[in-house]
Chains A and B, each alone.
Chain A
Amino acid sequence: MPKREDIHKILVIGSGPIVIGQAAEFDYAGSQACQSLREEGYEVILINSNPATIMTDTTIADRVYIEPITLDFAKRVIYKERPDAILGSLGGQTGLNLVVDLHEDGILDEFGVEILGTDLQAINRAEDRELFRALMQEIEEPVPESTIVHTVEEAVQFCQKLGYPVVVRPAYTLGGTGGGFADNEKELREICEAGLKISPVHQCLIEQSIAGYKEIEYEVMRDANNNAIVVCNMENVDPVGIHTGDSIVVAPVQTLTDHENQMLRSASLKIIRALKICGGCNVQLALDPKSFKYYVIEVNPRVSRSSALASKATGYPIAKISAKLAVGLTLDEILNPITKTSYACFEPAIDYVVSKFARFPFDKFPNADRHLGTQMKATGEVMSIGRTMEESLLKAVRSLEMKVDHLEKKEMLDLSDEELLEEIKKSDDTRIFAIAQWLRNGNSAETIHEITKMDPFFLAHIQRIIDLEQQLKENQNDIALLKEAKTYGFSDSYIARIWNTTPKAIYDLRKQNHIIPVYKMVDTCAGEFKSATPYFYSTYEEENESIPSDKKKIVVLGSGPIRIGQGVEFDYATVHCVETLRNEGYEAIIINNNPETVSTDFSISDKLYFEPLTTEDVMHVIELEKPLGVIVQFGGQTAINLADSLVEHGVKILGTSLEDIDRAEDRHEFEEMLHKLDIPQPKGETATTVEEALVIANKIGYPVLVRPSYVLGGRAMEIVHNDDDLKVYMATAVQEISHDAPILVDKYIVGKELEIDAIADGENVYIPGVMEHIERAGVHSGDSISVYPTQTISQKAKDTIIDYGERIGRGFHFIGLYNIQFIVDKDDKVYVLEVNPRSSRTVPFLSKITGVPMASIATKAIMGETLIDQGITPGYLPDDPNRVFVKAPVFSFAKLRGVDTVLGPEMKSTGEALGSDISLEKALYKALVASGIQVPTHGNVLLTIADEDKEDALSLAKRFASIGYGLYATKGTAQFLRDHGLFVHEVDKIEEGSDNSVVDIIREGKVNFVINTMSQKNKNSRADGFLIRRVSAENSISCMTSLDTAAILLKVLESLSFSMVSMNEMGK
Chain B
Amino acid sequence: MKERLLILEDGSVYKGKAFGSDNFQIGELVFNTSMTGYQEILTDNSYCGQIVMMTYPLIGNYGINRDDYESIVPAVFGFVVKDYCDAPSNWRAQETLNDFLVRENIPGIYGIDTRAITRKLRDQGVMKATMADPDANIEEIVKQLKETDYLHDQVKRVASDKIFPIPNRGKKVVLMDFGAKLGIVRELSKRGCDLIVVPWNTPAEKILSYHADGVMLTNGPGNPEDLPETIETIRQLIPHTVVFGICLGHQLISLACGAKTYKLKFGHRGGNHPVIDLATGKVQITSQNHGYAVDIDSLENTPLELSHQALNDKSCEGVRHTQYPCFSVQFHPEASAGPEDARDLFDEFINMMDKEGHHA
Residues of A in contact with B (beta carbons under 8 Å apart) = 225-227, 229-230, 252-259, 261-262, 265-266, 269, 289-291, 331-332, 341-343, 345-353, 387-389, 455-457, 460, 463, 520, 525-530, 541-543, 545
In the complex, the answer to whether A225 meets B92 with C-beta atoms within 8 Å is no
Expressed in whole angstroms, the minimum distance between the Cβ of A1059 and any Cβ of chain B is: 67
- Tell me which residues across on chain B come within 8 A of A389, comparing CB atoms: 58, 83
In the complex, the answer to whether A528 meets B87 with C-beta atoms within 8 Å is no
In the complex, the answer to whether A349 meets B85 with C-beta atoms within 8 Å is no
CA distance A389 to B87 in the complex (A): 13
Instruction: Give me the 5 closest cross-chain CB pairs, A-B, nearest first.
Output: A258-B37, A543-B116, A457-B89, A460-B87, A526-B55
In the complex, the answer to whether B58 meets A542 with C-beta atoms within 8 Å is no
In the complex, the answer to whether B56 meets A526 with C-beta atoms within 8 Å is yes
In the complex, 19 of the A-B residue pairs with CB atoms within 8 angstroms, ordered by the A residue number, are A226-B282, A255-B62, A256-B62, A258-B36, A258-B271, A259-B336, A261-B36, A332-B283, A341-B312, A346-B285, A353-B57, A353-B58, A387-B82, A455-B89, A460-B89, A527-B115, A542-B14, A543-B113, A543-B119
- Tell me which residues across on chain A come within 8 A of B45, comparing CB atoms: none
CA distance A527 to B340 in the complex (A): 24
Question: Nearest A residue to B91 by beta-carbon distance?
Answer: A290
CA distance A525 to B283 in the complex (A): 18
With beta carbons under 8 angstroms apart, the residue of B57, B90, B311 that contacts A388 is: B57
- Tell me which residues across on chain A come within 8 A of B35, comparing CB atoms: 252-253, 349-350
Expressed in whole angstroms, the minimum distance between the Cβ of A773 and any Cβ of chain B is: 52
1/0 contact trace for B261-303 toward A, CB 8 Å?
A: 0000010001111101000011101000000000000000000
Q: Does B233 contact A (CB under 8 A)?
A: no
CA distance A542 to B15 in the complex (A): 10
In the complex, the answer to whether A542 meets B36 with C-beta atoms within 8 Å is no
Expressed in whole angstroms, the minimum distance between the Cβ of B289 and any Cβ of chain A is: 13
Expressed in whole angstroms, the minimum distance between the Cβ of B126 and any Cβ of chain A is: 13
Residues of B in contact with A (beta carbons under 8 Å apart) = 14, 31, 33-37, 39-40, 55-58, 61-62, 65, 67-68, 82-83, 85, 87-92, 112-116, 118-119, 122, 266, 270-274, 276, 281-283, 285, 311-312, 335-341
Scoring A227, A529, A545 by chain B CB atoms within 10 A of each residue's CB, the highest score goes to: A227
Question: Nearest B residue to A527 by beta-carbon distance?
Answer: B118
- Tell me which residues across on chain A come within 8 A of B56, comparing CB atoms: 252, 349-351, 526
In the complex, the answer to whether A526 meets B33 with C-beta atoms within 8 Å is yes
With beta carbons under 8 angstroms apart, the residue of A253, A331, A346 that contacts B36 is: A253
- Tell me which residues across on chain B come within 8 A of A252, comparing CB atoms: 35-36, 56
Question: Nearest A residue to B312 by beta-carbon distance?
Answer: A342
In the complex, the answer to whether A346 meets B340 with C-beta atoms within 8 Å is no
CA distance A297 to B118 in the complex (A): 38
Interface residues of B: mostly helix, strand, loop or mixed?
Answer: loop
In the complex, the answer to whether A349 meets B113 with C-beta atoms within 8 Å is no
Expressed in whole angstroms, the minimum distance between the Cβ of A358 and any Cβ of chain B is: 23
- Tell me which residues across on chain B come within 8 A of A229, comparing CB atoms: 274, 285
In the complex, the answer to whether A345 meets B274 with C-beta atoms within 8 Å is yes
Expressed in whole angstroms, the minimum distance between the Cβ of B239 and any Cβ of chain A is: 35
A258-B36, A265-B339 given. 15 additional CB < 8 A pairs?
Answer: A230-B285, A253-B35, A256-B36, A290-B91, A332-B276, A345-B283, A347-B339, A350-B35, A351-B56, A389-B83, A456-B87, A526-B33, A528-B31, A528-B33, A530-B122
In the complex, the answer to whether B340 meets A257 with C-beta atoms within 8 Å is no
Expressed in whole angstroms, the minimum distance between the Cβ of B345 and any Cβ of chain A is: 15
CA distance A351 to B116 in the complex (A): 11
- Tell me which residues across on chain A come within 8 A of B274, comparing CB atoms: 229, 332, 343, 345-346
CA distance A541 to B111 in the complex (A): 9
In the complex, the answer to whether A351 meets B57 with C-beta atoms within 8 Å is yes
In the complex, the answer to whether A227 meets B122 with C-beta atoms within 8 Å is no
CA distance A257 to B337 in the complex (A): 9
- Tell me which residues across on chain A come within 8 A of B116, comparing CB atoms: 541-543
Expressed in whole angstroms, the minimum distance between the Cβ of B273 and any Cβ of chain A is: 7
With beta carbons under 8 angstroms apart, the residue of B39, B82, B85, B114 that contacts A457 is: B85
In the complex, the answer to whether A346 meets B276 with C-beta atoms within 8 Å is no
Query: Knowing A258-B36, A266-B340 touch, does A527 contact B58 (C-beta < 8 A)?
Result: no
In the complex, the answer to whether A257 meets B57 with C-beta atoms within 8 Å is no
In the complex, the answer to whether A258 meets B118 with C-beta atoms within 8 Å is no
Question: Nearest B residue to A520 by beta-carbon distance?
Answer: B115
In the complex, the answer to whether A258 meets B283 with C-beta atoms within 8 Å is no
Expressed in whole angstroms, the minimum distance between the Cβ of B192 and any Cβ of chain A is: 21
Scoring B36, B112, B285, B340 by chain A CB atoms within 10 A of each residue's CB, the highest score goes to: B36
- Tell me which residues across on chain B come within 8 A of A256, comparing CB atoms: 36, 62, 90
Query: Knowing A256-B62, A527-B55 touch, does A348 contact B283 (C-beta < 8 A)?
Result: no
CA distance A259 to B68 in the complex (A): 8
Question: Nearest B residue to A541 by beta-carbon distance?
Answer: B113
- Tell me which residues across on chain A come within 8 A of B40, comparing CB atoms: 258
CA distance A760 to B40 in the complex (A): 64
- Tell me which residues across on chain A come within 8 A of B55, comparing CB atoms: 349, 351, 526-528
CA distance A982 to B85 in the complex (A): 75
In the complex, the answer to whether A257 meets B62 with C-beta atoms within 8 Å is yes
Expressed in whole angstroms, the minimum distance between the Cβ of B324 and any Cβ of chain A is: 30
In the complex, the answer to whether A542 meets B113 with C-beta atoms within 8 Å is yes
- Tell me which residues across on chain A come within 8 A of B33, comparing CB atoms: 349, 351, 525-526, 528
In the complex, the answer to whether B36 meets A388 with C-beta atoms within 8 Å is no
Question: Nearest A residue to B272 by beta-carbon distance?
Answer: A347
With beta carbons under 8 angstroms apart, the residue of A388, A525, A545 that contacts B83 is: A388
CA distance A463 to B85 in the complex (A): 12
In the complex, the answer to whether B34 meets A258 with C-beta atoms within 8 Å is yes
Expressed in whole angstroms, the minimum distance between the Cβ of A309 and any Cβ of chain B is: 17
Scoring B35, B88, B92, B281 by chain A CB atoms within 10 A of each residue's CB, the highest score goes to: B35
CA distance A750 to B67 in the complex (A): 75
Question: Nearest B residue to A341 by beta-carbon distance?
Answer: B312
With beta carbons under 8 angstroms apart, the residue of B89, B114, B115, B337 that contacts A456 is: B89
Expressed in whole angstroms, the minimum distance between the Cβ of B304 and any Cβ of chain A is: 23
- Tell me which residues across on chain B come within 8 A of A262, comparing CB atoms: 335, 337-340
CA distance A158 to B108 in the complex (A): 56
Query: Knowing A349-B35, A527-B118 touch, does A225 contact B58 (C-beta < 8 A)?
Result: no
In the complex, the answer to whether B118 meets A528 with C-beta atoms within 8 Å is yes
Expressed in whole angstroms, the minimum distance between the Cβ of A919 and any Cβ of chain B is: 56
- Tell me which residues across on chain A come within 8 A of B272, comparing CB atoms: 346-349
CA distance A995 to B115 in the complex (A): 68
Expressed in whole angstroms, the minimum distance between the Cβ of A772 and any Cβ of chain B is: 55
Expressed in whole angstroms, the minimum distance between the Cβ of A804 and any Cβ of chain B is: 56
Query: Knowing A254-B58, A332-B283, A542-B113 touch, does A527 contact B119 (C-beta < 8 A)?
Result: yes
In the complex, the answer to whether B311 meets A346 with C-beta atoms within 8 Å is yes
CA distance A388 to B266 in the complex (A): 26
In the complex, the answer to whether B83 meets A387 with C-beta atoms within 8 Å is yes
Expressed in whole angstroms, the minimum distance between the Cβ of B269 and any Cβ of chain A is: 9
- Tell me which residues across on chain B come within 8 A of A528, comparing CB atoms: 31, 33, 55, 118, 122, 266, 270
CA distance A331 to B55 in the complex (A): 25
Query: Knowing A526-B56, A542-B116 touch, does A343 contact B312 (C-beta < 8 A)?
Result: yes
Expressed in whole angstroms, the minimum distance between the Cβ of B299 and any Cβ of chain A is: 22
In the complex, the answer to whether A291 meets B270 with C-beta atoms within 8 Å is no
CA distance A261 to B68 in the complex (A): 13
In the complex, the answer to whether A257 meets B270 with C-beta atoms within 8 Å is no
- Tell me which residues across on chain B come within 8 A of A227, comparing CB atoms: 282-283
- Tell me which residues across on chain A come within 8 A of B312, comparing CB atoms: 341-343, 346, 529
In the complex, the answer to whether A259 meets B67 with C-beta atoms within 8 Å is yes
CA distance A230 to B341 in the complex (A): 12
- Tell me which residues across on chain B come within 8 A of A543, comparing CB atoms: 113, 115-116, 119
Expressed in whole angstroms, the minimum distance between the Cβ of A341 and any Cβ of chain B is: 7
Question: Nearest A residue to B89 by beta-carbon distance?
Answer: A457
CA distance A985 to B90 in the complex (A): 64
Expressed in whole angstroms, the minimum distance between the Cβ of A527 and any Cβ of chain B is: 4
Expressed in whole angstroms, the minimum distance between the Cβ of B339 and any Cβ of chain A is: 6
- Tell me which residues across on chain B come within 8 A of A352, comparing CB atoms: 57
- Tell me which residues across on chain A come within 8 A of B113, comparing CB atoms: 541-543
CA distance A603 to B252 in the complex (A): 45
CA distance A945 to B35 in the complex (A): 62
In the complex, the answer to whether B61 meets A457 with C-beta atoms within 8 Å is yes
Expressed in whole angstroms, the minimum distance between the Cβ of B254 and any Cβ of chain A is: 24
With beta carbons under 8 angstroms apart, the residue of A258, A345, A527 that contacts B338 is: A258
